[in-house]
Amino acid sequence: MQTYHVYDADSRSGKDCGPSSYAFYLENDKKKTMILEKIESLRTEIETLTANSAAETDELYQKYLSKKGEVTMLMAEFRNVPADMKKEVGIKINQLKQLAIEKIKALKENTEEAESDTDGIDLTRTPYPVTLGSRHPLTIVKNEIIDIFQRMGFTLADGPEVEDDLHVFTKMNFAADHPARDMQDTFFVEKTKLDDVTKNIILRSHTSSVQARVMETSQPPIRVICPGRVYRNEAITARAHCFFHQIEGLYIDRNVSFTDLKQVMLTFAREMFGPETKIRLRPSYFPFTEPSAEMDISCHICGGKGCGFCKHTGWVEILGCGMVDPNVLELCGIDSKEYSGYAFGLGVERITNLKYQVSDLRMFSENYTPFLKEFENAY
């Protein structure tokens, strides 16, 4: 930095110069030197810039040329440069800005060209080996169940997982004070302040809501299966989970009997677990069916002789079923005096447990790769 003495200032200005004028010149020179040094530093930095992708080029633009970029901020500092030095400093700032624009533009063109350039790639070569995944065990079993019922004439039906109380409970003949409607058992999305519980919005606790929607919009004969995910407010353990998968079935027509239901259930059990499988129907209760039954199958591990898996009974429970309650038909707009029907529901996890002897229900939702790899050859 060039320094001036009092007599130098005299010769520069042609006037007498006192101590205050001397300080003025020193301060101006200091400002000029600082901004020129900053410009030179940025010039060196910009000249050596590199980028390997369009994203990196965008980052460089933001750093140097954006509204708060380093080159742009120099323009703000330029306002404080003394008038007699503005020309020199202004030229250098403009040169720096032009350099930054050209450099970043060149980097952007190079990266775009590199990303789109396929000249060095042999498009006819065999692709690199990709590690293939496998179908989830629940998907395997769900598809197998669907295939069995489709071969018996059932069609697929689907519905929303976020449902209203009307279709989940009311049209399925649940009483207004039924425990399933409590927050201890059901996940509520929106609970109305009104006395009308049918307006509550919940996560469906069974896919019976799909059956209600089908019966509302279709006329018999109806023969559908309703696969889907359901939710219940339960503690997560080896035997229970807050979400799981169900497949429910519904058949409505004239003169449908319990014998029809029994034959369909027997056919399903033998297709799923083997031709020697036996079934047993035990009386039970569900709000939406009357009469209702729990269905057991002969243990496919011990052949019904008794083992640890079936708790030495020879039987394993797999699903619930029954004849559709006339109240359900009437609530859904179907004449119960003319039509009858049966319904059934099973848990996909339950069937998968039985088929592959998985002891912990949580394994199905943890994405544990070694566990999932065991099913690579299962389909």
Residue 112 or residue 348, greater confidence: 348
Alpha helices for the chain (secondary structure H):
6-13, 19-47, 54-64, 70-78, 86-116, 137-151, 165-168, 208-217, 258-273, 326-331, 348-356, 369-373
**What CA–CA distance (Å, rounded) separates 248 from 159?**
12
Q: Which pLDDT score is estimated for 272?
A: 92
pLDDT of 3 above 50: no
Compute CA distances 66 → 15, 57, 108, 110, whole Å. 45, 12, 16, 21
Q: Which pLDDT score is estimated for 230?
A: 94
Q: Which pLDDT score is estimated for 12?
A: 43
Residue 235 has which token pair? 């503690």
pLDDT of 11 above 50: no
pLDDT tens-place string over residues 271-286: 999 898 999 999 999 9
pLDDT of 19 above 80: no
Contact 289, 324 (CB under 8 A): yes
User: Is cis: bond before 283, omega within 30 of 0?
Assistant: no
pLDDT of 134 above 60: yes
Q: Which pLDDT score is estimated for 162?
A: 94
pTM of the entire predicted model = 0.63
pLDDT of 207 above 60: yes
Beta bridge partners of 292: 284, 322
pLDDT tens-place string over residues 311-343: 888 898 999 999 999 999 999 999 999 999 999
**What CA–CA distance (Å, rounded) separates 55 from 63?**
13
Compute CA distances 231 → 38, 186, 214, 237, whole Å. 63, 7, 21, 15
Q: Hey, what amino acid is at 93? A: I
pLDDT tens-place string over residues 62-91: 888 888 888 888 877 777 777 777 788 888
Chain CA centroid to CA 167, Å: 25
Contact 306, 313 (CB under 8 A): yes
Q: Where does the pLDDT of residue 16 fall: very low under 50, low under 70, confident under 90, or very high at 90 and above? A: very low
Q: Which pLDDT score is estimated for 336?
A: 93
Q: Which pLDDT score is estimated for 9?
A: 42
Region 334-360: mean pLDDT is 91
Q: Where does the pLDDT of residue 60 fall: very low under 50, low under 70, confident under 90, or very high at 90 and above? A: confident
Q: Which pLDDT score is estimated for 27?
A: 62
Lowest mean pLDDT: which of 128-137, 162-171, 335-344, 353-362? 128-137
Q: Where does the pLDDT of residue 163 fall: very low under 50, low under 70, confident under 90, or very high at 90 and above? A: very high
pLDDT tens-place string over residues 96-131: 888 888 888 888 888 777 666 555 666 777 777 777
Q: Which pLDDT score is estimated for 160?
A: 94
pLDDT tens-place string over residues 210-219: 999 999 999 9
Lowest mean pLDDT: which of 56-60, 181-185, 296-300? 181-185
Q: Which pLDDT score is estimated for 121?
A: 67
Residue 223 or residue 120, greater confidence: 223
pLDDT of 169 above 80: yes
Q: Which pLDDT score is estimated for 26?
A: 56
Residues sharing a CB contact under 8 Å with residue 205, sequence separation 6 or more, in sequence order: 168, 180, 185, 186, 230, 231, 232
Residue 127 or residue 47, greater confidence: 47
Q: Which pLDDT score is estimated for 185?
A: 81
Percent of the chain with pLDDT over 90: 40
